[in-house]
Amino acid sequence: MAFYFISIVLLGFIAVYALMAVWAERKISAWIQDRVGPVVTGKYGLLQTFADIFKMLQKEDITPTLADKKLFLAAPILVFTAVFMGFATIPFSPTYISSSINIGIFYLLAIVSIEVLGILMAGWASNNKYALLGSIRSIAQIISYEIPAALAILSVIMLFQTLNLQEICMQQGILSKQKIYFFGFWEVSKIGGVFAWTIFQAPHLLIAFIIYFIASLAECNRTPFDIPEAESELVAGFHVEYTGFKFGALFLAEYAMMFLVSMIAAVLFFGGWNTPLPNLASFALADYTTGTYWGIVWILLKALSLVLLQVWIRWTFPRYRMDQLMTLCWKVLIPLSFVLVLFSGIWKLFILN
Amino acid sequence: MINLIFYFFAFLAIAAALYAVSTKQIIRSVFAMFACFFAISGLLVFAQSDFIAIAHLMIYVGGILVVMVFGIMLSQKASLSNVVLQKKSISLHQYLALLACVALFVILMYFFYLYGPNTPIHYVGSDIEIIGIALLTKYLLPFELVSLLLLAAFIFTAMVTRKNKNL
């Protein structure tokens, strides 16, 4: 029973988060561009996206005459389900994880590929050239950027020797059974806090995080990699024909995907549910701030900060061209991430042993 | 409940496979194949091999299906509209395909008959460590051969797609 309850709470949380993220994105963009943003509906315009979603639900649900009707209906369901399936293996606290399987991160990588197929289905079923072009671009981009993302994840996993996300979290804080070394020389197993996070366990893992973050931006179709839905070229990309609730589902899935990749980044690189506060002599801050409820607070804070970073980047950088995008992926990120994997092996064999 | 899910996946796999071969729209048959692969990886979870299940999903859905869809999309314009698959008299290669299918079915049924449904599964755990150690010790030679084959395929693809042959 508790399982169903937690699933429903998670779905509700993601729905509310997506609405609030849209509002936050509009406010932050307004702030960056020296505007005010939504102010009319509710205090600080907080109810703006709720009003928008109610408008969207009331709208007529139009299916184009020449569209493939069954696939057109199936695509948003597939995309949204695929993204939501990803949350199953994310640990929220030391005691709560929906499914603690020993192939957690591998499962997450496979889930992303289902979303690819959903986008393709949406683009195809719309029977619209812009939608098809958008989905082809999207897939070319996602399957290219999966490679540096997977290699960056691999360079982390090689140090932890497990694919279970809960165990990866365990090995980044005071609850660890193994010894943790800050950059390989200072044992911090009992101190914990920020010093025990993955990015401080080896010098190359900060670069791995940057590679993973760039790749995750591309996987979410976010600027500077938003060429699949480039407004100035393709109207709206793969979801141009979608209206009403189906569009809402696709939109929700995009923000849920942003949150999912941020959660993965938080777990793999920033200690997951571990506290940033270290144990300082008699001030055992890490001992105080580790626990079920603290864990949920920390991981949500970390993930939401990364979402904020994604929003910030969107309103700061211009869009890449297709060839620049591919050059960055195949000629810069992939060779660099191969070097990182090699370095991880060397670090594991010679420094940590 | 568990039985119900199992039969749902089994039904989905068979129904999707039948739809994939009987539909006249190529793109729909690709998406039906996706449903089939997904159901099969669900069945693999029931067989206690979850690593294989996820690998199946990753390779077939993330790799092969996307390549197939790309192939269909980038081929001629005629194939973009509804392609009517040929329904003439059965030719020789179709007989051969039928023969191969029947042979495969016979082999599968033979093993099913040999071991039966009640044979206990020798479960060694689907731990990735076991798989990893087995791949790098006992099955090292096939593993390396496969990676060589993939490398050759990579180099070949790069050669074929290169525009300037003199480079």
- Please give the full DSSP string across A46-73, using - where no structure is assigned: TTHHHHHHHHHHHS-----TTS-HHHHH
Asked if A103 and B57 come within 8 Å (Cβ–Cβ), the reply is no
Kindly state the average pLDDT of the residues B102-114: 88
Asked if B62 and A116 come within 8 Å (Cβ–Cβ), the reply is yes
Kindly state the average pLDDT of the residues B102-115: 87
Cα A54 to chain center, whole Å?
A: 26
CB A116 within 8 A of CB A303: no
CB A155 within 8 A of CB A340: yes
**Final residue in a domain of this structure, among A33, A58, A83:** A58
A28 φ, ψ to 5°?
Answer: -65, -40
C-alpha dihedral sign at A245, A247, A250, A251: negative
**Residues near A140 by beta carbon (within 8 Å), at least 6 away in sequence:** A326
Tokens of B109: 């049924």
B61 touches chain A (CB under 8 A): yes
Tell me the pLDDT tens digit for each residue of B11-54.
999 999 998 888 877 778 888 888 898 899 888 888 777 888 88
Tell me the CA distances in angstroms from A338 to A140, A161, A221, B146, one per residue in order. 21, 18, 24, 20
Give the pLDDT confidence score for residue B88 in this predicted structure. Answer: 59
| CATH number of the structural domain B2-126 | 1.20.120.1200
Question: Which residue numbers in chain A have pLDDT < 70?
Answer: 1-3, 6-7, 230
**Final residue in a domain of this structure, among A24, A41, A58:** A58
Cα B11 to chain center, whole Å?
A: 17
Give the pLDDT confidence score for residue B122 in this predicted structure. Answer: 65
Asked if A101 and B31 come within 8 Å (Cβ–Cβ), the reply is no
**Final residue in a domain of this structure, among A11, A26, A58:** A58
Beta-bridged to residue A181, according to DSSP, are A187
Residue in A with minimal Cα distance to B51:
A103
Same-domain check for residues A170 and A272: yes
Q: Which helix (H) or strand (E) holds B114?
A: helix B92-115
Q: How far apart are CA A334 and CA A285, in angstroms?
A: 40
A159 touches chain B (CB under 8 A): no
Asked if B73 and A101 come within 8 Å (Cβ–Cβ), the reply is no
Residue B61 is classified by DSSP as I
Label residue A1 exposed, middle or buried (CB < 10 Å: 0-12, 13-18, 19+): exposed
Tokens of B156: 């070949």
Same-domain check for residues A88 and A175: yes
Q: How confident is the model at residue B84 (pLDDT cuts 50, 70, 90)?
A: low
Q: How far apart are CA B1 and CA A144, in angstroms?
A: 40
B66 touches chain A (CB under 8 A): yes
> pLDDT exceeding 70 applies to what percent of chain B?
80
Q: How far apart are CA B72 and CA A143, in angstroms?
A: 17
CB B40 within 8 A of CB A90: no
B50 touches chain A (CB under 8 A): yes
Same-domain check for residues A22 and A70: no
Q: How confident is the model at residue B141 (pLDDT cuts 50, 70, 90)?
A: very high
Distance from CA of B12 to the nearest CA of A (A): 15
Residue in B with minimal Cα distance to A139:
B66
Angle, CA B41 vertex, CA B39 and CA B43 arms, to 5°: 70
Residue B103 pLDDT > 90, yes or no?
yes
Tokens of A185: 């020389």
Q: How far apart are CA A160 and CA A166, in angstroms?
A: 11
One-character DSSP codes across A224-246: TS-GGG-HHHHTTGGGTT--HHH
Residue A192 is classified by DSSP as -
B27 touches chain A (CB under 8 A): yes
What is the total count of domains within chain A? Answer: 2
Which residue has tokens 């683009």? A123
Kindly state the average pLDDT of the residues B2-18: 89
- The upper half-sphere exposure of residue A94, i.e. CA atoms within 13 Å in the direction of its Cβ, equals 16
Count of pairs with CB atoms under 8 A, one residue in A, one in B: 61
Same-domain check for residues A108 and A27: no
Residue B124 pLDDT > 70, yes or no?
no
Tell me the pLDDT tens digit for each residue of A112-148.
878 888 888 888 888 788 888 888 888 888 888 888 9
Q: How far apart are CA A139 and CA B68, in angstroms?
A: 13
CB A306 within 8 A of CB A265: yes
pTM: 0.85
A287 touches chain B (CB under 8 A): no
Same-domain check for residues A303 and A254: yes
Asked if A110 and B126 come within 8 Å (Cβ–Cβ), the reply is no
Q: Where are the alpha helices (DSSP H) in chain A?
A: 2-32, 48-58, 69-85, 104-125, 129-160, 165-170, 205-219, 231-234, 244-269, 285-288, 292-314, 322-327, 334-346
Angle, CA A76 vertex, CA A257 and CA A105 arms, to 5°: 35
| Amino acid found at A147 | I
Q: How far apart are CA A305 and CA A323, in angstroms?
A: 30
Higher pLDDT, B70 or B117: B70
Give the pLDDT confidence score for residue B106 in this predicted structure. Answer: 93
**Which has the closest alpha carbon to A204: A136, A145, A162, A158?**
A158
Distance from CA of B127 to the nearest CA of A (A): 7
Domain limits for position A17: 1-58
Cα A138 to chain center, whole Å?
A: 16
Asked if A71 and B61 come within 8 Å (Cβ–Cβ), the reply is no
Same-domain check for residues A245 and A328: yes
Distance from CA of A28 to the nearest CA of B (A): 35
When CB atoms are compared, the residue of A71, A101, A117 closest to B65 is: A117
Q: How confident is the model at residue B87 (pLDDT cuts 50, 70, 90)?
A: low
Q: How confident is the model at residue B149 (pLDDT cuts 50, 70, 90)?
A: very high
